[in-house]
Chains A and B, each alone.
Chain A
Amino acid sequence: MHSLDDIDRRLLRLLQEEAGLPVTELAERAGVSAGACWRRIEKMERARVILGRAIDIDPRALGYEVRVFLRVVLDKAASHAFDDFLAAARALPEVIAIETLLGRVDIRMDVVARDLAHYQEIYRDRILALPHIAEIDALMLVSELKNSARLPI
């Protein structure tokens, strides 16, 4: 764990809220000089605490109206079930997120589709063709109330 002091944490909190904040304004809000602010951020970037900046794209604005979360239990009797499944699932462009889990289900995936007909096509032709699926269930997104990568620093 990287050691941060209160000022570092304050800078991260401010930047998590507004990633585009210019250094001068960030420094003023955090109560440090612009030079000190810049050095601290650079230090956190060098230590790879700050990995970079990302843009957040809204799938709906690109025409993907449907978003489904699939939860998969794999047939663990098959050897390499995880590796085979993950390699095939990663190659599907409409599968935008995959995580391996410890719990009742083994894997969860986010699937985007233009509409329900498009989703059905992806599900039947490509998802169900993935190897070693023992069980699969689906949750369909109705609305997203909160989505933030913000850490409670």
Chain B
Amino acid sequence: MAEIDDTDRAILRALLADGALGAKEVGLRVGLSQPAAWRRIRRLEEAGVIRGRSLILDREKLGFGVVVFLGVKLAAKGRLDLETFERAVQAIPEVQLVQQVIGVHDYRLRVVARDLSDFERILRRRIMTLPGVGQVESNVMLREEKNAPPPL
């Protein structure tokens, strides 16, 4: 766990509000010089608190109308072949998220698709054909109601 102080928290809040801010603007907001802000941001990156930066795109404007959460259970004999399954599932470009979990499923996936028939094609041709796949439960996302950082 990284040691962070109140100034680091203020920096994280500023960057969470606008990830495009440079060190100078962050410094202005939290009362630091540009080099001091830059050093702190750099340290937060090195400590792994800031994992990276990404572009936020409007998924629907780009034609991806559907997000589906899948719960995947491996078939009994598939358990021998976790690595093959994991490698293959991560390589599917429409699969954005792969998490190994404990509970009623073995893996959670998030899949983006253009529409429901596109999703059905991805499910049948790419996911159901993965080595070791047993039961798959699909839940279509209606709306994202909250997406927040962990409490700082």
Contact = CB atoms under 8 A, between A and B. Distances in A.
A77 interface: no
A97 B147 contact: yes
Q: Which A-B residue pairs are the 10 nearest by beta carbons?
A: A103-B139, A139-B103, A152-B93, A53-B19, A139-B101, A98-B146, A101-B139, A98-B145, A146-B98, A54-B19
Nearest to B12: A57
A36 to B, nearest CB: 19
Contact of B56 (A1, A54, A147): A54
Interface in A115-131: none
Interface residues of B, number: 62
Contacts of B6: none
A94 B151 contact: yes
B137 A52 contact: no
Contacts, number: 208
Nearest to A14: B55
Given A62-B1, A146-B96, A16 B101 contact: no
B40 interface: no
Contacts of B140: 101-103
B141 interface: yes
B5 interface: no
B99 A145 contact: yes
B76 interface: no
Interface string B50-83: 1111111111011110000101000000000000
